Amino acid sequence: MRNIDDRNRVLFCILNLCKDVLGRFPKVVGIDVVEMALWAKENTPVASKQGTKQDGPVVATVTESDMKVTVEKELVSQAEEEDMEALLGTYVMGVGEAEAFSERLKRELLALEAANVHAILETEPLIEEVLRGLEAATNCVDDMDEWLGIFNMKMRHMREDIESVRTCLHKIMLMLDFCALWHVLMSSLLGIFCLHKTVLMLGFCALWYVPMLSLFGDFVSF
């Protein structure tokens, strides 16, 4: 379409066709109906028709009633159009109020910003105190981390010492078992040695007793 008038003509024709066929206007979205009505009123052509009489051609002007442009074919009625115009007038008159409202909103925004700045300035000592508390808590956490590292190292050394003590105890138990076996072995060997010594002594006595007995017998016979 070349311009807005062409668009409005096409839309006006479509709306009139819908009114003729459906008996009602369709729901229009994205188009100002009041603007369309005003455009239709301003751009309604005044048609002329020529009639032939015996005296010659006569040009007769056809008014809106001759074209049957009734209220049904208009987008809005005359009363609705007047209401729309009044509403538009109110809207146009309300622009100044909107500007005043916008100015008031700007002033309120500035006041709120100033109040926020004032509140921030008032709460600055509290914020500093909270920051100091957070810093102290951070230092405590760092100290706890350091102490936990030290405790972990000490626990590791304690575990190593416990393992060393267990190893030493195991060795001591082995030594005790070895000593007990050694005592039993020595007792056995001592018993065997004493028995062997006794046998030797008995053998020696037997060897000494036989010559002495023979010598004593010879002495008695003499």
Domain boundaries defined on the chain: 4-76
Q: What are phi and psi of 146, to 5 degrees?
A: -65, -45
Q: Which two tokens stand for residue 98?
A: 């909107």
- The type of residue at 99 is E
The per-residue pLDDT for 68 is 40
Residue by residue, pLDDT tens for the chain (222 residues) are 567 777 777 877 887 788 788 777 777 666 666 677 777 777 766 544 444 444 444 444 444 444 444 434 455 566 667 766 666 655 544 445 667 777 878 888 888 877 777 677 777 787 888 888 899 999 999 999 999 999 999 999 999 999 999 999 999 999 888 888 888 887 777 777 776 667 666 666 655 555 555 655 554 454
Residues 6+ apart with CB under 8 A from 139: none
Distance of CA 206 to the CA centre of its chain: 110
Distance of CA 219 to the CA centre of its chain: 129
CB 34 within 8 A of CB 84: yes
The per-residue pLDDT for 48 is 46
The per-residue pLDDT for 75 is 55
The per-residue pLDDT for 82 is 72
DSSP 72: G
CB 189 within 8 A of CB 195: no
Beta-carbon-side half-sphere exposure of residue 120 (alpha carbons within 13 Å):
6
Whole-model pTM: value is 0.30
Distances (CA, A) of 147 to 69, 120, 150: 98, 39, 5
Residues 6+ apart with CB under 8 A from 25: 15, 18, 19, 75
| d(C-alpha 59, C-alpha 63), whole Å | 13
Distances (CA, A) of 122 to 110, 115, 126, 127, 179: 18, 10, 8, 10, 86
The per-residue pLDDT for 196 is 65
* Overall residue count recorded for the chain in this entry: 222
* Other Cβ atoms within 10 Å of 39 Cβ, number: 19
CB 8 within 8 A of CB 39: yes
